[in-house]
Amino acid sequence: MLPRRSFTWILLLFIIFSALFNPSSSNNYWTAKRMRMREKVRRMFYHAYDNYMTYAFPHDELKPLTKTFTNSLSELGNLKLEHLPQNYNGSALTLIESLSSLVILGNNTEFQKAVLWLSENLRFDVDARINLFECNIRVLGGLVSAHVLATDSTNRLPRESYKNQLLVLAEDLGNRFLPAFNTPTGLPYAWINLKHGVMENETTETSSSGCGSLILEMGALSQLTGDPRFESAALRALRKLWSMRSSLNLLGTTLDVETGEWIEFSSGIGAGVDSFYEYLFKAHVLFGKEEFWRMFHTAYLAVQKYFRHGPWYHEADMRTGRATHWQLTSLQAFWPGLQVLVGDIPAANSSHREFFHVWEKYGVLPERYLLDYQMLHPTEKYYPLRPELAESTFYLYQATKDPWYFEVGESIMKSLILYTKVEGGFASVRDVTTMQLEDHQHSFFLSETCKYLYLLFDDSFLVDQNYIFTTEGHPLPVLSSWHERLPEVYGLTNGTSIKGENSSRRSSAMSLQVCPATSLNTAGDGDQQLESACHILDARADHKCFSNEECGVDSTTCRRRSCSSSGYCGHWLRL
């Protein structure tokens, strides 16, 4: 007979192991945890939103420490509040940015109230200088997305109360953008006055993101209004920018819109160029143009070849490919999410874990981290509530269904509550070493950070739906009516395809959700090989090498190849 104490321990262990190895028990645990986390994110969103509505609305953004407001869209143009027109009360930026988040959180009542207020009060005929890129992704994107959500089949708004008012506002704003594109190159000015157009002596300097990341919002506006001018202007600028790439298929960071000359030749996947890569791929999905895929695939291979170093991405000179800055910037954390959409899951997971390691080290993600010195940048130690790590975490969970990403999301959420939540909202972090706060709650905290965390724990909004999220987190629907018509027999010329005996059908790692490449057995086609976008060729056709830098990335495993002691690239066993 066993002693009573021993019997108790054995029974306890039996219960624990039964729970661990019972799939339904495990599923119940994660389901319950997801619901708890979802409700915490919901409370985060409304703490930020309600304080904005109380202390800052209808101005642009909330200052949570002093419970006041800032008209940030105009201040981006270095205009002080006292220089703005007397009747200018802001653009209700945070309200516009919150529209799709309200829908995703299921608050159709507040969504309806916000739409009706904007319909009656928002006007763009104001003497204010704004940043074209920021106004495009935040205001135009927010209005277009909200219009789509207001008119979809769910009947969120009564038909008698909504008569396309948001689309009318979006079209008015789009028309005010068009003078910015009147340059010899077709590349738009970075700044424009909403009432007077391009001002005299306006700066001609812009970024690759600023002129190459307009196609989603302006293209969607053209599709919805039937006016092709918006998409044409954005597409002309994008094509011009792409034509300025180097022989290595790399772009710089800043350029002159009048001369079409590069100003800053060093670039990476972070600030100044990040959303250019993002919009190439997402435009291919949204509009179905093969041109966008060819651009993206070429650019992606160049990034993998010249910027990637293990799980990190440094910056390099577009002319030579030589590394210039070995640093992590917080905006780079969007890249794993983009790689998930492409299908390059192993590379996405590898980089994401490194970003999360830095998050854990400091409690939040610093704006700039010097990889070669393993230290913070001395002047860029802030964290402005950026969403990119949460965004990539959401995409990686969707691709892998690995519950570890719930743990990552929970860690991000706890840090935000612990370090940035104040009585008046959520404040940016001025210095991650001291957690000193700054008096600013950016609108993207509501449009992206809270949204991606919520979708991580509750993705019911996406069930039976197909959306592409803009760089500001605004959902746009993937509709066949927005796609170019393709011939019935169609084969990719610069991508991946699966060909049958009698026809070719469009196919890629992204569309088939296969990566790394897998041997596919399709009816009548036999055993076909699908190559993923992560493939990088070895420098030499005979695979000879002198260093690892001359070896590429394998097409079937997405693993980087290395140079052996005998001078050949391959996957070598290291003992």
Annotated binding-site residues read: 471
* Element housing 563 (H / E): strand 562-563
User: What does 113-149 look like in DSSP terms, one character per residue?
Assistant: HHHHHHHHH----S--EEEHHHHIIIIIHHHHHHHHH
Burial class from Cβ neighbours inside 10 Å (0-12, 13-18, 19+) for residue 59 reads buried
Catalytic one of 60, 61, 134, 438: 134
Q: Of all helices (H) and strands (E), which one includes residue 102?
A: helix 93-104
Classify 45 in phi/psi space as left (phi over 0), alpha (psi -120 to 50) or beta: alpha
Which candidate, 307, 295, 297, places its Cα nearest to that of 213?
Answer: 295
* In contact, 420 and 385? CB cutoff 8 Å: yes
Q: SS3 of 274, please?
A: helix
388 is catalytic: yes
Cβ-in-10-Å burial (0-12, 13-18, 19+) of 274 comes to buried
Question: Does residue 464 come out as left (phi exceeding 0), alpha (psi in the -120 to 50 range) or beta?
Answer: left
Which one of the listed residues 60, 97, 110, 367 is annotated catalytic?
A: 367
| Binding site per annotation, positions for Ca(2+) | 471
Other CB atoms within a 10 A radius of the CB of residue 92 amount to: 24
Our answer to whether residue 367 is catalytic in this structure is yes
List the one residue out of 144, 76, 5, 156 whose CA is nearest residue 443: 76
Round to whole Å and give the CA distance between 314 and 326: 5
Q: 301-305 long-range contacts, Cβ below 8 Å, gap at least 24?
A: 301/249, 301/533, 301/535, 301/536, 302/248, 302/249, 302/250, 303/269, 303/277, 304/347, 304/534, 304/536, 304/553, 305/536, 305/552
Q: Please name the residue that has the structure tokens 């030499």.
A: 540
Residues 6 or more apart from 565 whose CB is under 8 A from it?
none
For 179, residues 6+ apart whose C-beta sits below 8 A from its C-beta are 192, 197, 198
Catalytic residue among 97, 171, 231, 274: 274
Question: Which residues carry out catalysis?
Answer: 134, 274, 367, 388
